[in-house]
Amino acid sequence: MRILYATSEAVPFAKTGGLADVAGALPKAIHELDHDIRVIMPKYRGITGKKIKTFEVNMPQGLEEAEIYEDHLPGSSAMVYFVGNQKYFDREGLYQNNGIDYPDNCERFSFFCKAVMEAVPQLDFLPDVIHCNDWQSGLVSAYVKKLHKWNGVAVVYTIHNMDYLGLFPKEQIFATGFDWRMFTPDRLEFFDRLSLAKGGLVFADVINTVSPTYAREIQSPEFGAGLDGLMRKRSGDIFGILNGVDYKIWNPRTDKKIAKRYSAESLEDKSGNKLALQKLCGLPAGKTKPVIGIISRLADQKGFDILAGAMDAIINMGAQIVILGVGEPKYHRWLQQMQKTYPKSLSVNLEFNAMLAELIYAGADMFLMPSRYEPCGLGQLISFKYGTIPVVRKTGGLADTVHDGVDGFVFTDPNPSALVEAAARALAGFKKKKSWHAMQELVMDYDYSWKVSAKKYVDLYKGALLKIGRRVN
């Protein structure tokens, strides 16, 4: 099968969240199943590659040049194409700068999606399936079905996060190359605004999201972000496939970024990472002091308002907390304030820092994810591999992967007292060394590698092709 995988970010080239982890790893796993899958993404600042093509893309203001560069996903022969255009992509951030979205994001990602369409004949790579991911590549789906009418190409659209609808003022419809005829509720309109995610959701042959529970949840008003009606209408086409983890990167046996490598057989070495983390973060060092790690975008979704009501109680139970994240200014301000209140128990790191992330996964005893909703969540899966026990809210992929008292600690109600109760159980569990070690050994042995999920994606592609009347092996 030939698959073109369109994404706005992929590890190691560009990352703001879990989509990059998926896009850097899933194509490799599908490639290992002997399918010709190629990634295409924007060429942001700092990305290099060999220039292989230049062509023009029609934008409302005139022609814009697209340059195509090529490379491979590291450790794989799966190809990656980068779409370059200095004006659109040679910028400080991917989607925003200093927390403010670029005002021309609609134009930037319309350009990207048009360039993807133009690249297909230019690269002489006619895919059987085009796989789009979230709103940034959603228009590709609409272009395949409505503009270019490539009837032999199946489109799969993956929702990594339902809340990001790619919303813009309606006048920007012209940047997409469509006109008012496409601005209807059953096409690209979302309550009088333009939604690029709808391009993907309405026109894709098959839709999936990144966990079975979230696939159900998005069909309800609570989680459907205003599109639950559309989701219910398409419920027969919606699937849930759990994300995996790239164990070539996330593995305490081989991780070169951590202080001391370890495995389930040498768990005592994990504490070398804990001491290094405490030292680095300016917290009193000690093996018996429980350390709770949090690595997260600082967004409402991630439950920081729930944490705000629980933080004092958790610290007063004797825990140290290390937080790594960037996001909404209100949470930055709150955390800076808390840091002043608890200098010896709390370490706040308001940055994106891959090095520190790995040391937290390795050095913390527990990993906290109090999410209000969570499409899949990678933090808990990575934590498993590092023997770091997750404390999570029962939602989405967290509900599918963490089992209370077995491999983590789970709370249901989205309120501080439920979180404090779960944290108290985790902290009590931590004191019982024998059963804690047994839990660590269990989770470190879990296999959330991409292999299993990659096979499910191949089946999904086959299903999408069947829907357009093609049978491909």
Interface residue list for ligand ADP (CB under 6 A): 17-18, 21, 161, 295-297, 324-326, 352-354, 357, 376-379
Nearer to ligand ADP (CB atom), residue 33 or residue 355: 355
Q: What 3 state SS string does 375-412 have?
A: CCCCHHHHHHHCCCEEEEECCHHHHHHCCECCCEEEEC
Residue nearest to ligand ADP (CB): 18
**Residue with smaller CB distance to ligand ADP, 212 or 463:** 212
Please give the span between the terminal C-alpha atoms of the chain, in angstroms, as a whole number: 7
Strands (E) across 148-241 are located at 154-159, 167-169, 189-190, 193-195, 206-209, 238-240
CA distance 201 to 216: 15
User: By C-beta, is 287 or 297 nearer to ligand ADP?
Assistant: 297
Q: Which position has the token pair 């133009």?
A: 118
Closest CB 21 distance from ligand ADP, rounded Å:
5
Between residues 115 and 298, which has the closer beta carbon with respect to ligand ADP?
A: 298
Residue with Cβ nearer ligand ADP (177 or 377): 377
Containing 133, the helix (H) or strand (E) segment is strand 129-133
Closest separation in Å from C-beta 9 to ligand ADP: 10
Strand partners, 58: 63
Which C-beta is closer to ligand ADP: that of 27 or that of 377?
A: 377
Shortest distance, position 259 Cβ to ligand ADP, whole Å: 17
Closest to 464 (Cα-Cα) out of 158, 13, 193: 158
* Shortest reach from residue 256's CB to ligand ADP, in Å: 16
For residue 338, the minimal CB distance to ligand ADP (Å) is 17
CB of 385 to ligand ADP, least distance (A): 12
The CB density around residue 445, as the number of other CB atoms within 10 Å, is: 11
Taking Cα atoms as reference points, which of 315, 314, 368, 311 lies closest to residue 345? 315
- What gap in Å lies between CA 237 and CA 239, rounded to an integer? 7
